[in-house]
Structure 1
Amino acid sequence: MVQYTKEQRQKWMASLDARFSSAAVLIENTKGELLILKANYKDNWGLPGGVVDAGESPLAAAVREAKEEANVDLAPGELALAMVASRQSEDYLSHQFVFTAVLSDDRLSNIRLQESEIEDSYFISKEEVAQANFPLLWAVKLWAKQEFGYVETKITSTVAGSQDEKIVAITPMYSSAKKEDKKMGKLVISRHGESEWNLLGKWTGLTDVGLTEKGIADTERLGELLKGMAFDEVYTSALKRTHQTLDALLKGAGIAEDMPVVRAAELNERDYGDLTGKNKWEVKDEIGEEAFNGIRRGWDYPVPGGETLKDVYARAVPYFQSEILPKLQAGENILLVAHGNSIRALIKYLDQVPDSDMAHVEMPFGQLLVYTFTADSALPKNKEVRSVEIEPVNA
């Protein structure tokens, strides 16, 4: 049999037509309004975005363009893919990757437009999109309908010399109608705010300490990202720092505190055993960085008198599967407030993270994880990350 060689493949690859790609990002504020930009070289209003540079991924390009065009700082983990478009013109076929992110008001308070390209900006509501008497990018129109997926567009030149781009076909990932049919449930996960022992750099574990004033203030700002959401039930751990975090989240979101709250010890923080109450940075100096990282981030690294992350998984995940998952599959919205390690254990299950990669999984302060569930799966269909900028926590 004649073998297809590596050299033959390289020659074939070199013969293919090069097609450029572009990236854009749908940036929403806490009111559900979308940031649109008016470029000086385009007739329509569009999104922060542009061509993907050589050696750059579409995700990295979206992050870069948001910073360059509007001075909006994004982290790759905050973006979720919303649309992929094949855009056919008379001269070329290109592909565009459109991401989405929801940011707090304070992170959108310093918008500064790129003088060489962008002449104006505006936050537009879904209702305004439907009534707009000025041209809008196709992706903005689909955002207003909450229709996301694979899109085909056709670009044509007008008599006046400008370009007109129309949607030819769309294969949706989901739409508002489909969400209702499938009874999609939302799981929103939040870590507690800065605690008194976080401030001191101590391993807290099962010690029942409260939040600092900063922890409460940070969490109220994080709660603004929940505005417009409704929850059927709330789960916290048995420790009061999660109870105080819940109060601050609901206050920031403007949500009444009249929903059922379940306090479950299965969601408690990891038991740090003999290390509880010790300053983690002093312990690091004593035992060395490798052992310190093993204790702090390892999957099954022993802790004297305490729990490994694997032990936390063994109590938190079965509880989630038996008590919370059925409600999500039934279309309920659940808010869960827990701790760094109990959330890491849940992330391992929800994102199907291998044991070997758990050292790289973290749940930062000031972040919300939003998972979408349907009745036909025990794993989420979609994940979204929302966050606010906070001063570093000594944890």
Structure 2
Amino acid sequence: MSSEAAENVLVLVRHGESEWNKLNLFTGWKDPALSETGQKEAKLGGERLKSRGFKFDVAFTSSLQRAQKTCEIVLNEVGQSNLETIKDEKLNERFYGDLQGLNKDEARQKWGDEQVLIWRRSYDVAPPNGESLKNTAERVLPYYKSTVLPHVTKGEKVFIAAHGNSLRALIMDLEGLSGDEIVKRELATGVPIVYRLDKNGKYISKELIDN
């Protein structure tokens, strides 16, 4: 389906695999680069968007290089390497506090499997000195509504390259999901999610561009 078929289009992409993803480390606001695999994932996502005729009016990304590079690769693939791209830390990944930089297996050894699982998969329990998903939503959603949504409701086609948890926060709001529902939502790296929204920015439908 062409992006031209709907007036209001919002496309989300989780960044490709980073070097720390590959090493099974908690990353958060740390700033590793994309791995070679991550670059390929971003390129494939861009190719899939190009094959469906997508063009964008504005792009948003976080202050972290793995999301910025994903954004750059995707836009290059769709032939829009010079598109206006707005970068803001409010779209950053969840801040993992004391867990950042730790191997996930080492964290389980230190705090126990159950506690680490609670920190990773609960909605409102934060790791030591870090953010819960609820906290992440409290910075992502006001930014989306004040800065991104006006572009959407003007009929512009908007692209966001960000992170698993910043995008979960946004998806929770778009789809009207509960905290328990959104923590179970898995987002594949480099796979575009196309949201079609009404004139007020309310959810109509979504499509995964995964083939």
Deviation, structure 1 residue 302? 2.3
Which residue of the partner structure matches residue 185 of structure 1? 8
Which residue of the partner structure matches residue 367 of structure 1? 191
- Mapped to 2, the partners of 1:366 and 1:191 lie a distance apart of 6
- Mapped to 2, the partners of 1:322 and 1:354 lie a distance apart of 22
- Mapped to 2, the partners of 1:187 and 1:216 lie a distance apart of 22
Which residue of the partner structure matches residue 198 of structure 1? 21
- Mapped to 2, the partners of 1:307 and 1:289 lie a distance apart of 19
Which residue of the partner structure matches residue 73 of structure 2? 248
Q: 79, 88, 91: which one pairs with 1:267?
A: 91
Could you say what secondary structure the match of 1:356 adopts? helix
Q: 49, 53, 69: which one pairs with 1:226?
A: 49
Determine if contact 1:219/1:252 at 8 Å carries over to the other structure.
Answer: no
Determine if contact 1:187/1:335 at 8 Å carries over to the other structure.
Answer: yes
* Unmatched tracts of structure 2, length 5 or more: none
Judging by fraction of residues, say which structure has more helix. 2
Calculate percent identity across the aligned residue pairs.
Answer: 36
Letter of the structure 2 residue corresponding to residue 378 of structure 1 = G
Deviation, structure 1 residue 364? 1.9
Determine if contact 1:193/1:241 at 8 Å carries over to the other structure.
Answer: yes
Deviation, structure 1 residue 214? 1.4
Determine if contact 1:297/1:358 at 8 Å carries over to the other structure.
Answer: no
- Mapped to 2, the partners of 1:288 and 1:266 lie a distance apart of 31
Could you say what secondary structure the match of 1:381 adopts? strand
| Bigger relative contact order (CA 8 A; separation at least 6) | 2
- Mapped to 2, the partners of 1:366 and 1:258 lie a distance apart of 20
Determine if contact 1:330/1:374 at 8 Å carries over to the other structure.
Answer: no
Deviation, structure 1 residue 296? 1.1
Letter of the structure 2 residue corresponding to residue 231 of structure 1 = F
- Mapped to 1, the partners of 2:29 and 2:167 lie a distance apart of 15
Which residue of the partner structure matches residue 304 of structure 1? 128
Could you say what secondary structure the match of 1:306 adopts? coil
- Mapped to 2, the partners of 1:349 and 1:370 lie a distance apart of 15
Q: 2:33 matched to 1:210?
A: yes
Deviation, structure 1 residue 360? 0.9
Larger Rg belongs to: 1
TM-score (norm 2): 0.92
Could you say what secondary structure the match of 1:210 adopts? coil
Which residue of the partner structure matches residue 314 of structure 1? 138
Which residue of the partner structure matches residue 383 of structure 1? 206
Which residue of the partner structure matches residue 156 of structure 2? 332
Determine if contact 2:49/2:192 at 8 Å carries over to the other structure.
Answer: no
The more displaced of 289-298 and 218-227 is: 289-298
- Mapped to 2, the partners of 1:315 and 1:387 lie a distance apart of 29
Q: 239, 242, 258: which one pairs with 2:82?
A: 258
Which residue of the partner structure matches residue 279 of structure 1? 103
Determine if contact 1:233/1:261 at 8 Å carries over to the other structure.
Answer: yes
Deviation, structure 1 residue 286? 3.5
Could you say what secondary structure the match of 1:230 adopts? coil
Could you say what secondary structure the match of 1:360 adopts? coil
Which residue of the partner structure matches residue 40 of structure 1? none
Judging by fraction of residues, say which structure has more strand. 1
Task: Spell out, residue by residue over 1:54-105, the C-alpha distance to the aligned partner (whole angstroms, 9 max, x if none).
Answer: xxxxxxxxxxxxxxxxxxxxxxxxxxxxxxxxxxxxxxxxxxxxxxxxxxxx
- Mapped to 2, the partners of 1:257 and 1:231 lie a distance apart of 11
Could you say what secondary structure the match of 1:349 adopts? helix
Letter of the structure 2 residue corresponding to residue 250 of structure 1 = L
Letter of the structure 2 residue corresponding to residue 265 of structure 1 = E
Task: Spell out, residue by residue over 1:319-377, the C-alpha distance to the aligned partner (whole angstroms, 9 max, x if none).
Answer: 101111121111100000001110111111011111222331222213211111221x3
Could you say what secondary structure the match of 1:305 adopts? coil
Aligned pairs for 1:48-67 within 5 A: none
- Mapped to 1, the partners of 2:190 and 2:105 lie a distance apart of 22
- Mapped to 2, the partners of 1:359 and 1:339 lie a distance apart of 14
- Mapped to 2, the partners of 1:335 and 1:250 lie a distance apart of 9
Which residue of the partner structure matches residue 139 of structure 1? none
Could you say what secondary structure the match of 2:203 adopts? coil
